[in-house]
Structure 1
Amino acid sequence: MAATEERFPPARRRIADNLRDFRQSVLRRIDLLRGEEPENVHKPSKGRFLAEIGYLVAPIRRRFEPELPIEPAGSPKVVILLPGFATGPWRMRYMAQQLERAGHKVKRWGMGYNFGPTPENFRQLGDRLCSVRERYGQDVVLIGWSLGGVFAREVAKLHPECVERVITLGTPFSHSPYSNNMWRVYQVTAGHRVEEPPIDGVLYEKPPVETVAFWSPRDGVISRRAACGLPGERDRAVALRCTHMGFCNSAEVILALDEELKR
């Protein structure tokens, strides 16, 4: 009986410690949700943001549209697709299928859902990139949608010898990290402030490989200033007409990627 009683205090302490940690975590998330944005932000209008909900009908509408005019590529590429914030590879499946029609080898990023950067998932992505490069004996094209483009740019800085090109789709790499309509949601989910990512690096600095920024004035989530960037922050910028959610399945975007990969 005495031995049994001695085991209870440590158990109670663990429960108390867990409750305290949980309370601190909740309070921190609330603080992140209440954060204030600086005055120099530039965000899409509320109307543009509400229009993003149209992505829900895109798969249905696509069934009644003709097949995209994709021709076989003369020099097929090896591509890794990097999904946006709080999404996984399934959201880019249609894009992958269309690029595969052209003969490109399209690979997943290998980390499931994207809930923000950590040193560990950057190491995993670097290993994935180098593994794909070694397997196919060809430099890899990184195509990153939204936050996935941040991953693409940063991993290309770490392993430029494995990367042919980086293409970002509505990625917030420039201007202010608050120049978007999702920074509060991001902070609560990722657990850190947007200006304090848990990784080294300067997001607006261009990777030492060809870097192309796709952006859209119709983007309701990310500011065009953040996604287009300045000339020294990317090599080229391509303006398209799609919503932010449409970057991963818009016919215009996929055809633009098809042309880009022919370069």
Structure 2
Amino acid sequence: MITLNAISSSPMLLALEPYHALCNYIAGHMQPTDFSENGDGHPVLVIPGLGSSGAATADLRMRLQQLGYATYDWKQGVNTGHGFDLDRWLLLLTEQVEAISDQHTASVSVIGWSLGGIYARELAMRCPHLIRQVITLATPFNAADLSQYQDGHHRVSSTSIYSQTDGIVKWEMCKAPESGAHRNIEVQGVSHFGMVHHPVILNVLAQLLKQPATTSDYDVQG
């Protein structure tokens, strides 16, 4: 769960979050999709943040679909937090990843926004053989996750995307030690809710998703 110490301590950024989010949304719809970034069409599962559902990530999934990827919503409705039954949710998500992987005969990239990114990391630990890569958007690391990354025990390529203008989550907590399998990418001028709309996010995602499944060499522009 996203704990209180992960919440942004900046009253100004929190107050400006709705304005920044609206600007990010408009920017995302003003910039056309760059089809030169078309990828290999592998499946991508998108998990929404706390208090949101697949409706909030529909635009992101549509844009990734335009780039040729087979995109999927998590199908669990509103993300109300996992305090009541985390294991059941993770079991359902694991079963969904298995079904998607079987359908496409390919590993699945998982994009998790905010709290959804914590679920994405959990999935990578439960079924690493089915996960191509994990990409998190404004997702803090909890103590257990950070320990895995500090010790180098995570087995799936991962990228944490964060912004210092996030009005909800402390950007400092979205970073983990970098390695051949993990990269932190800072994006400029993106709000917490703008993470699923801002054109720079789509550009970074397009570059990450295009990379070969076995690559550990990142060359991505934030």
- Which interval holds the TM-score relative to the shorter structure? 0.7 to 0.9
Aligned-residue offset at 1:145: 0.3
Find the partner of 1:155 among 123, 134, 139.
Answer: 123
| Counterpart Cα distance in 2 of 1:112 and 1:214 | 24
**Partner-residue secondary structure (3-state), 1:149:** helix
| Counterpart Cα distance in 2 of 1:219 and 1:57 | 13
| Counterpart Cα distance in 1 of 2:186 and 2:64 | 20
1:121 aligns with 2:89: yes
| Counterpart Cα distance in 1 of 2:119 and 2:95 | 13
1:233-244 matched pairs, under 5 angstroms: 235-241=182-188, 242-244=190-192
Q: Letter of the 1:123 partner, please give it.
A: L
Find the partner of 1:252 among 188, 191, 200.
Answer: 200
Aligned-residue offset at 1:99: 0.7
1:52 aligns with 2:52: no
Aligned-residue offset at 1:58: 5.0
Question: Could you tell me which residue of structure 2 aligns to residue 84 of structure 1?
Answer: 49
**Partner-residue secondary structure (3-state), 1:156:** helix
| Distance of aligned partners of 1:152 and 1:47 in 2 relative to their CA distance in 1, 3 Å threshold | same
TM-score normalised by the chain length of structure 1: 0.69
Higher-Rg structure is 1
The answer to which of 90-99 and 202-211 deviates more is: 202-211
1:1-263 matched pairs, under 5 angstroms: 43-54=8-19, 55-56=21-22, 59=25, 65-71=30-36, 73-117=38-82, 118-174=86-142, 202-204=144-146, 205-206=148-149, 207-231=154-178, 235-241=182-188, 242-263=190-211
The percentage of aligned residue pairs carrying the same residue is 23
8 Å CA contact 1:70–1:255 kept in 2: the answer is: no
| Counterpart Cα distance in 1 of 2:90 and 2:39 | 32
| Distance of aligned partners of 1:114 and 1:58 in 2 relative to their CA distance in 1, 3 Å threshold | same
| Counterpart Cα distance in 1 of 2:55 and 2:157 | 27
RMSD: 2.3
8 Å CA contact 1:174–1:227 kept in 2: the answer is: no
**Partner-residue secondary structure (3-state), 1:203:** helix
Deviations along 1:33-56, one digit per CA (max 9) or x if unpaired, are: xx9x67xx7834111111111224
Aligned-residue offset at 1:251: 0.7
- Unpaired runs of 5+ residues, structure 2, are 212-222
Q: Letter of the 1:258 partner, please give it.
A: A
Aligned-residue offset at 1:254: 0.8
| Distance of aligned partners of 1:72 and 1:158 in 2 relative to their CA distance in 1, 3 Å threshold | same
Aligned-residue offset at 1:94: 1.0
8 Å CA contact 2:48–2:114 kept in 1: the answer is: yes
TM-score normalised by the chain length of structure 2: 0.82
| Counterpart Cα distance in 1 of 2:87 and 2:142 | 21
Aligned-residue offset at 1:172: 1.1
Deviations along 1:167-203, one digit per CA (max 9) or x if unpaired, are: 000001147xxxxxxxxxxxxxxxxxxxxxxxxxx23
- Unpaired runs of 5+ residues, structure 1, are 1-34, 176-201
**Partner-residue secondary structure (3-state), 1:89:** coil
Deviations along 1:102-156, one digit per CA (max 9) or x if unpaired, are: 1000011121111112111111111111111111100000000000000000011
- Structure 1 segments of 4+ aligned residues over 4 angstroms from their partners: 56-63
8 Å CA contact 2:138–2:161 kept in 1: the answer is: yes
Question: Could you tell me which residue of structure 1 aligns to residue 214 of structure 2?
Answer: none
8 Å CA contact 2:24–2:191 kept in 1: the answer is: no
Aligned-residue offset at 1:238: 0.6
